[in-house]
Amino acid sequence: MNIVVVGLSHKTASVEIREKVAFAPNQMEKPLKELAGLPDINEGVIVSTCNRVEIYATTHDIAGGMARLKRFLADFHNVSLDVLEPHLYNYHGEGAIRHLFRVASSLDSMVVGEPQILGQIKTAYGYAAEYKASGIILNRFLHKAFSVAKRVRTETKIASSAVSVSFAAVELAKKIFGDLTDKTVMLIGAGEMCELAAKHFLNNGVRGVMVANRTYERAVRLAEEFDGRAVTFEDLFDHLHKADIILSSTGATHFIIGAKDVEEVIRRRRQKPMFFIDIAVPRDIDPKVNNVENVYLYDMDDLQGVVASNLQQRAEEAKKAEGIIDQEIGRFFNWLSLLEVTPTIVALRSRFEEVRQAELAKTLAAWKDLPPDGQKRLEALTSAITNKLLHPPTSLLKRTGQGGRTDLYVDALRQLFELEAEEPQEEDFEELEE
């Protein structure tokens, strides 16, 4: 039994392609049932987020199974496979395991370390379990991925630092203000950067937005977008004291806010801290503003410095995370190969037991005057013989692990002892683990 994955992500496909094959989160029953019903496919889980669409499955036939999955993905969304093919990646065995572990640990995310992906995979698994598309192998696989992600999160600092400028600005604001929910942001000027940062602040719970712009109409339009209020540029300093966080990006060629202005504003605010973010080039805010007590000023260079140091830290942490993943792959692989040999071991044992019981019954039937004590001894003797004989092949099978000889041994044993081929059962495995 092999684990395979077929999918595409932000690394291989543009958003136009990704949205074509995305699965709607509340309509997972149909695709999952179809997936589980595919020939060659035993179990399946579909992970679909805005950055990736991936199908994890188990199959006996790696190449055939992966082809099935690709065809399924294309057909289900009525997309030509020719269009899809160049964007698809596929992994099997160890590669597939590593892939899911990396995805769940947010090492494969657009923003490495972002926390949402784990929740998304948990939801995806929830659907697969609900519609019985996943089984013993994928259940264990996904649970393992969750625990690996958790290990990575607690043992490395991958999730603790931010990599985009607006993310960095929000993190800084949190270190100054703690909770952002009752804070007000003021946007001075406009621009994509500025709006993006403002959105990020709003997503983090900021309460009010004020917009000041040289063109008042533009301020009004932007204010409407953020459900905030517009301020004329002339009245800027009458309103500045109401803002906790100021995002500035005007096209001005000189400083529009000086240290003297801010000193006055901060007094008016009774020293409540202020955070100025100057993303204009050339700058809008006099750098001396940073020297005013309880005022913090970061310009574009400062923010990029923060991002750069975060990135560097993150690269180091990512290395650590890969190490953890390597370890966990080893452990999971052992389990998987154990799972592969389990039915054979169980079948072999029951075959021996069958023979023993049959022969024992015959002997006991013929030997009528054997005292109960003798019966017990006979019982013990025969079971000691079978156990002694079974021990070497059983432990050899368990030891073989991921080596390529497992199949050989399994086949040989099945033919030599006329064992029936069986799918692994959960109970078998539990029995073996004891």
- Supply the Cα-derived Rg of the chain in whole angstroms: 32
CA distance 185 to 242: 9
277-336 residues near other proteins, rule: CB under 8 A: 290, 293-294, 296, 298, 302, 305-306, 309
Residue of the chain from 10, 77, 151, 157 that contacts other proteins (CB under 8 A)? 157
Residue of the chain from 13, 172, 285, 341 that contacts other proteins (CB under 8 A)? 172
Residue for token pair 């600092």: 157
**Part in contact with other proteins (CB under 8 A); list of ranges 247-255, 268-276, 356-364, 392-400:** 268-276
Provide the pairing of β-strand 245-249 with 184-189: parallel
Q: Minimum CB separation from other proteins for residue 291, in Å?
A: 8
What is the b/e burial string over 190-205, where b = at least 16 CB atoms within 10 angstroms of the residue's CB? bbebbbebbebbbebe
Residue of the chain from 11, 60, 174, 260 that contacts other proteins (CB under 8 A)? 174
Looking at beta carbons only, is 82 or 293 nearer to other proteins?
Answer: 293
Looking at beta carbons only, is 220 or 324 nearer to other proteins?
Answer: 324
Per-residue tokens: 188: 């001075």
- Residue type (1 letter), 219: A
Burial class of residue 24 (count of CB atoms within 10 Å of its CB; 0-12, 13-18, 19+): exposed
CA distance 186 to 205: 14
Handedness of CA 16, 93, 40, 430 (dihedral sign): negative
Specify whether the backbone of 169 is left (phi greater than 0), alpha (psi in -120 to 50) or beta. alpha
Looking at beta carbons only, is 87 or 151 nearer to other proteins?
Answer: 151
Identify which of 170, 182, 187 has the alpha carbon closest to the alpha carbon of residue 222.
187
- State the catalytic residue, choosing from 50, 358, 389, 416: 50
Identify which of 47, 219, 45 has the alpha carbon closest to the alpha carbon of residue 131.
45
Compute how many residues bind other proteins; rule: CB under 8 A: 25
Q: Minimum CB separation from other proteins for residue 160, in Å?
A: 6
Residue for token pair 């290395």: 319
Q: Minimum CB separation from other proteins for residue 40, in Å?
A: 45
Provide the pairing of β-strand 2-9 with 52-59: antiparallel
Q: Does 161 bind other proteins (CB under 8 A)?
A: yes
Residue of the chain from 16, 82, 179, 420 that contacts other proteins (CB under 8 A)? 179
CA distance 296 to 282: 19
Residue for token pair 């019903």: 37
How many whole angstroms from its chain centre is CA 22? 17
Q: Does 150 bind other proteins (CB under 8 A)?
A: no
100-129 residues near other proteins, rule: CB under 8 A: none
Q: Minimum CB separation from other proteins for residue 148, in Å?
A: 17
**Part in contact with other proteins (CB under 8 A); list of ranges 171-179, 224-232, 366-374, 400-408:** 171-179
Q: Does 271 bind other proteins (CB under 8 A)?
A: yes
Catalytic annotation present for 50? yes
Q: Does 176 bind other proteins (CB under 8 A)?
A: yes
Residue of the chain from 93, 191, 208, 273 that contacts other proteins (CB under 8 A)? 273
Q: Minimum CB separation from other proteins for residue 289, in Å?
A: 11
Q: Minimum CB separation from other proteins for residue 101, in Å?
A: 21
Looking at beta carbons only, is 215 or 294 nearer to other proteins?
Answer: 294
Residue of the chain from 16, 26, 178, 388 that contacts other proteins (CB under 8 A)? 178
Long-range Cβ contact pairs of 358-364 (< 8 A, separation 24 or more): none
Residues with catalytic roles: 50
Residues at the contact surface with other proteins, assessed by CB under 8 A: 154, 157, 160-161, 172, 174-179, 269-273, 290, 293-294, 296, 298, 302, 305-306, 309
